[in-house]
Amino acid sequence: MKWSLHKLAMMFGAEGRKAGPDEETQAARDMKVLKKTPEEAAKRKAIIAHELEYPLVRNKWKYRRWASIIIINLMFVVSYSWDVQLVEGSLSASRFLGFHMADPNAALQVMLAMREVMLNLLIGTVTVVLVWWLVGGRAFCSWACPYHLLAEWAEWIHLKLAERGWVKDHPFHRGMRVAIWIIFMGLAFFTGYTVFEYINPVGIVSRALIYGPTVALMWVIFLLGVEVFFSRRFWCRYVCPIGLTMGVAGTGAPLVVKYDLSKCVHEGECRAVCLVPHVLDITKMGYASDTTEYIAPDCTRCGLCIDACPQNALSFKVRGLDNII
């Protein structure tokens, strides 16, 4: 229970740490001791050296995510442009085949601003929470959010520039996201306006795709510039309250990323590509509490770590079932 609570606390800014003696199983302790023997250490170094010489390149889950983001947002565009009425509205609030859908973060702001519970928004929020809970709350970020796709391309540019020494990443404390969530909810309540929605790049990009670009896109371009030249994945890692809301909603989701300690050689390829690398701290030598674990709930289910791991130590799994996706 203590270890599970720590994984949840990481969503709110807590740092990753090793499992304590009272949190790890005997099987995990035995495996950690085994991995530190000279024979196993030499074998691990040889595997890592081979991986460096012949790097694994897999993009299975990345391209599936890209297709998902494009298809979901294209449904909004086609529905509006051709009056199909498949999906009405935008990612902030919509109706899908007549069912109300609402971004929980935006809906909460509206209800705080209006100081009343609105039935349509409540129904839409519950619907969205149930859908994204099935696959993990932050799956919205990597499988539906249009800004995420732009930020992923910005990250690629940032990494290329960093390789040449032209830019440097400037990380922030992840707890800043919690403070920002509280600030904007408070602003909605005390001002009567959903202030966050004026600067929310997710809503801005979604509306620009559906209804046409506006001057608000300049703000999105500015944010992408920050991510390219100053702080890698600045908005998604340190600011976005939508990710925090979805992450809380998706805690305990059936779909998880499973970690197998016995297969891991701790070379860190997974953490290098992860949007939220703190959730993969358990892949560091000596950190895991058991021989198999589920990645922390702040995980976006993007699958980049699964593609990156040459040893297949990470995989998608449905809780309670034996099948691996």
Cα angle 262-30-252, degrees, rounded to a multiple of 5: 55
Q: Model confidence over 224-236: pLDDT tens digits?
A: 999 999 999 999 9
Least confident of 39-53, 61-75, 105-119, 293-307: 39-53
Instruction: Say what the pLDDT of residue 95 is.
Output: 81
Instruction: Say what the pLDDT of residue 41 is.
Output: 86
Q: How confident is the model at residue 322 (pLDDT cuts 50, 70, 90)?
A: low
**Whole-number Å distance between alpha carbons of 195 and 111:** 13
Instruction: Say what the pLDDT of residue 160 is.
Output: 96
pLDDT average, residue stretch 248-257 = 88
Instruction: Say what the pLDDT of residue 165 is.
Output: 95
The model's pTM: 0.91
- Is 324 a residue whose pLDDT tops 60? no
Instruction: Say what the pLDDT of residue 152 is.
Output: 96
Which sign, positive or negative, has the C-alpha torsion 20, 23, 25, 26? positive
Q: Model confidence over 255-278: pLDDT tens digits?
A: 999 999 999 999 899 999 998 999
What percentage of the chain exceeds 90 in pLDDT? 60
Whole-number mean pLDDT of the chain?
90
Q: How far is CA 264 from CA 27, 57, 170, 220, 282, in A?
A: 15, 18, 29, 38, 11
Q: Model confidence over 72-131: pLDDT tens digits?
A: 999 999 999 888 878 888 888 888 877 788 889 999 999 999 999 888 888 888 888 888
* Region of residue 17 (phi > 0: left; psi between -120 and 50: alpha; otherwise: beta): beta
Q: Model confidence over 133-174: pLDDT tens digits?
A: 888 878 999 999 999 999 999 999 999 999 999 999 999 999
Residue linked to tokens 């979604």? 206
**Whole-number Å distance between alpha carbons of 163 and 154:** 14
Q: How confident is the model at residue 303 (pLDDT cuts 50, 70, 90)?
A: very high
Residue linked to tokens 């670009």? 213
